[in-house]
Amino acid sequence: MADIPIVYTLTVCPACDSLRAAWRREGVEYDERRVDQSQDTLDEALDFGDAVPIIVWPDGKVEMGFRGQRG
């Protein structure tokens, strides 16, 4: 497992934009994987859920959405 969260996003997605902006302000480091840019990344994300952003925490916990928003 990575030591930073992996975040599956879409390029155009208000919830994903909120996450990117908030985490940039807060200095949160993460590995962003855009599901609309690679079929392999989309297939990988679908193992975890079907609504972005999908956050996979270093401990393996999976969270869909960001602060009540989903794309």
Would you tell me how many other CB atoms lie within 10 Å of the CB of residue 19?
Answer: 24
Q: Rounded to 10 degrees, what is the CA torsion of 57, 16, 42, 3?
A: -20
Query: Environment class of residue 15 by beta-carbon count within 10 Å: exposed (0-12), middle (13-18) or buried (19+)?
Result: buried
Per-residue confidence at 71, pLDDT binned at 50, 70, 90?
Answer: confident
10 within 8 A of 47, measured Cβ to Cβ: no
Q: What is the pLDDT of residue 1?
A: 53
pLDDT tens per residue across span 14-64: 999 999 999 999 999 999 999 999 999 999 999 999 999 999 999 999 999
Token representation of residue 4: 């930073």
